[in-house]
Chains A and B, each alone.
Chain A
Amino acid sequence: MKTFRMGGIHPKENKFSAGKKIRTAEIPKQVAIPLSHYVGSPSESVVKKGDMVKVGQMIGKANGFISANVHSSVSGKVNKIDVQLDASGYKRPAVFIDVEGDEWIETIDRSTDIKRECNLSKEEIIKKIQDAGIVGLGGATFPAHVKLSPPPGKKAEILIINAVECESYLTCDHQLMLEKGEEILVGVTIIMKALGVSKAVVGIENNKKDAIEHLTELAKSFTGIEVMPLKVRYPQGGEKQLIDAVIRRQVPSGRIPIEVGAVVQNVGTTYAIYEAVQKNKPMFERILTVTGKDAPNPGNYLVRLGVYLQNVVDQAGGVPAGTGKIVGGGPMMGRSLMNLSVPMAKGSAGVLFMKDEESVRKPIKNCIRCAKCVSVCPMGLEPYLLMTQSERNMWPEMEGNRVMDCIECGSCSYTCPSNRPLLDYIRFGKTTVGGIIRSRK
């Protein structure tokens, strides 16, 4: 079975919510739909206070190339356009809407029939994806239409669907594949058409055997789609790692996957593209995993954007006693939440309750030069060296040691027997070096 060739770890999987049916979360009285994205510039609000909006109506217009439209996830009245604390405690613009009923805009096809034929042209598909405000749901929330429009001179050869879900605990993609398998494969054909490629591979880690079987069975009726089981290994969901695992090509340092002819899309994104193209449904809801070792009711919830995580957690049985930290996302890449009054964003994949004893950092000891961090780094960097250079503010040396290649997967910090905060320092260096590189231009 294939996997990527360099580094990687295998943390405990802890997929407690696996196999739990996707439940639709209730819509609360008020939502705060964030206008900003993880990358790129925030969208511009196109509604004003007092406006009535319907589900699926555009409320934020993309501002620049790396940005995406934002659509209302509820119907009701715009209460205000104000700032809202995000997961890290900083203020971001958001549209606050008081919910009244659940009225969808007429163009959305709400039937559950699967529509397999797509007669649109390349440009029309990409236009639809762009209008629907679809961003990558794997975590980085990079606008999907940007990836589907390769720069001039570059040609995509293969489409890789990222269904590995290598983070522990999270199961939202897994459950989506089980329940919406056929829709996903139709989505794959749509992306293939948009890219003009004839081959697509769905990479799934081998701990999701039911999803592999299900999709392999379904893929028989589609041409050019292969379902590839992959060995369980973190961070296989990283774009460059997945390309290496599936087609054995390495993306050169500082380049993008299209350089080796590959385009990677997340499986959740693929489903959203299906809905956008075939059902005219913009992106205003996604699946969220609520989980944890002591979670009373771990499960997968279909949540509208802008719903406060508190509301979802309440429906999932509340915060368990003895929770030391609540993480937004998975345990490796996720960031701890300041509080639960954080609105659901396009990139939110999970809410993870960590127990008190799990959440504290162990005391930092000296580096014993065991080089475990070097052997697990999926990008072939030397984390111990980068950390030391970051501590000593040696920015040019860090740039020379390819700090900008770091994908911040956290494997080094996870594996360090001396509990050294390698990633924290490397991220510090990466931010600073990134600033230096930008200022040169």
Chain B
Amino acid sequence: MNVILISLITLGVVGAVSAIILFFVAKKFHVYEDPRIDQVEQALPGANCGGCGFPGCRGFADACVKADTLDGLLCPVGGNETMQKVAGILGKSAVEAVPTVAVVRCAGTCEHRPRMNEYDGVKHCFIAHNLYSGETGCSFGCLGLGDCEVACEFDAIHVNPVTKLPEVDEDKCTSCGACVKACPKLLIELRKKGPKSRRIYVACRNEDKGHITRKSCEVGCIGCGKCLKVCPHDAITITNNLAFIDDSKCKLCRKCVEVCPTNAIVELNFPPRKPKVETAEAPKEPVNA
């Protein structure tokens, strides 16, 4: 009986003293954390993809709370809806961000871009890129080994086994930018999703002179400048024999698509064109933007 009593008292005293010490230590070294960080983190999708440029969702939440305005802070996965929620919690206003999506700037399928040799090394774009320029004559084009596919956490990009080109699933793509970083050929770009997902872009990165590009790929940009001349909005620039469409200036008139001799300019999700007789008038009517 005595033994039990002694042990109970000893343990009780030790516990009580420890509790007092812990209580004062906790008071002394208390770190104030804004409770809103937790709230913001709750509102975020929790993908921890790093697409916002911060280490995980909590890092982003922390940055949102600390920032004076929400300018430049965007959760690409959650998009506007999430940012509105975050803005609501913090009592700040979120700038309406234009949704973007990843596009692959290479259209050189097996049929357009003949294979000149066979790569039997490691199926890893970066390793192949380090070794040599690729199976085709185009040293700028897609290697098709799927580094982007591995990098994507949202199952949104897949290499098509027939064309050997990656294809982006628009519904799943959150434009986190993981594939952009993974591509050693810098082929993937985040572009404005566009109204009704309509987009026009140059699906080529080949900076060779026209005749060299022509030899290696049927659909490569040869830098002829036809699109530059026809564009009424000054959205197109040509540097190093390669056209680029600025998505902030492009009004989706599709004139450049028509004049491109190699079909290097790609239009996505547009309704089928009207028969040829009417095309002369078609550009006059405003595009349903």
Contact = CB atoms under 8 A, between A and B. Distances in A.
A90 interface: yes
Secondary structure class of chain B's binding surface, majority of residues: loop
A34 to B, nearest CB: 16
Contact of B127 (A90, A335, A339, A425): A425
Contacts of A431: 130
Interface stretch (B9-17, B115-123, B251-259): B115-123
Nearest to B207: A91
A295 to B, nearest CB: 20
A424 interface: yes
Interface in A343-397: 360-361
A47 interface: no
Given A360-B120, A421-B121, A427 B127 contact: yes
Interface string A79-102: 000000101111100000000000
B131 interface: yes
A336 B134 CA distance: 12
Interface string B120-137: 111010110011111000
A338 interface: yes
Contacts of A336: 132
Of the four ranges (under 10, 10 to 19, 20 to 34, 35 or more), the interface on chain B belongs to: 10 to 19
A90 B128 CA distance: 13
A319 to B, nearest CB: 14
B238 to A, nearest CB: 18
Contacts of A339: 116
Contacts, number: 43
B139 interface: yes
Interface residues of A, number: 18
Given A421-B121, A425-B122, A338 B132 contact: yes
Contacts of B208: 91
A90 B133 contact: yes
Contacts of B132: 87-90, 335-336, 338
Contact of A424 (B117, B121, B133): B121
A428 interface: yes
Contact of B124 (A335, A360, A428): A428
Interface in B130-156: 130-134, 139
Interface string A322-347: 00000000000001101100000000
A296 B259 CA distance: 52
A424 B126 CA distance: 10
Contact of B120 (A88, A89, A361): A361
A88 B131 contact: yes
Interface in A26-64: none
Interface of A: 85, 87-91, 335-336, 338-339, 360-361, 421, 424-425, 427-428, 431
Given A85-B139, A89-B134, A424-B121, 20 more contacts: A85-B133, A87-B132, A88-B131, A88-B133, A89-B132, A90-B132, A336-B132, A338-B116, A338-B117, A338-B133, A339-B116, A424-B122, A424-B127, A424-B131, A425-B124, A425-B127, A427-B127, A428-B126, A428-B127, A431-B130
Interface of B: 116-117, 120-122, 124, 126-127, 130-134, 139, 208
